[in-house]
Structure 1
Amino acid sequence: QLGVEAFGSESAALDVEVIAMGYNLLKTFGLTDLKLVINTLGDQQTRDDYRQALIDYLEPHFDELSDDSKERLHKNPLRVLDSKAPEDQQFVADAPSILDYLSPEAQAHFDQTKTYLDALAIPYEIDATMVRGLDYYNHTIFEIMTHSKALGKG
């Protein structure tokens, strides 16, 4: 297992440096069918606005949610998006997108991240449903996968 932590900086360049390090390391191991999936959790304003939007969206369906999601709804509603419970899937599929709640600063950061990835010719897909439930994550989150298995996350 290998880990890289980058903290103390809100630089899109540093986000991409970490992604590129993991991506290129996996390529040097001979993996050629890599898929990079990215999303953003934005800044604190984005997360606060999106958290409230999720609560507002999910609250009318409270009785239909899984027990885990009922417990998570007001503590950490982003974790509801990670639910694998069949009863949650219809609501998760139609949930608002965090990309619609990005502050101007968070949008600029995400745009810069994509620009840097493009400049490095690292192909990526955006998955607006990908989240992280830990409070210390902000801005860019990612997974590097092969054959649908995540090999690297951040």
Structure 2
Amino acid sequence: MMPKFNLPKQPLRPWGMAALMLGLAACSAPTSPIAQVEPLALLPPYLPGWEAYEAIDNDGVALPSGELTPFSLAQSLLTEPETLECFRTAQVRIEALDNGDMAILSTRVGLCDDSVAAIEQRLDLTPTSMGWALNQSGQRFGCGRPEFAWAAPGTLCP
């Protein structure tokens, strides 16, 4: 038999709605501690400087067709073709820089290689009179052995 609830006849006041939402959020919170979340599944809390990346040739970067904007580039980085061989997760962040440029940080984890745990690309776009242009591009590798660490620029994982 279902329990009967008597709902109030008048609408909830703003504080009542807030209390209801807080209660719902508390009931739906995960039961496992956040410390157990895989650290590779999250982007770094900061935008690493260019000294952390190996520069790559801008001509080798696959840009989206059509108008280049920070958002179209970010979307193209998220829609890479998936393979059935490996499970990959891509995370993309767009950050405005002090000089007016936009930095796009793309991190892919879950790669097929047992030594490379992550590949991160940083792409900086500069506003021009005609739209946006690719200013700088670089990448770095996250090594999975013996413990996770970012490889020095220009080096591969062991």
Shorter-chain TM band: under 0.3
More helix by share: 1
TM-score, with structure 2 as normaliser: 0.23
TM-score, with structure 1 as normaliser: 0.24
From the CA coordinates, give the structure whose radius of gyration is larger. 2
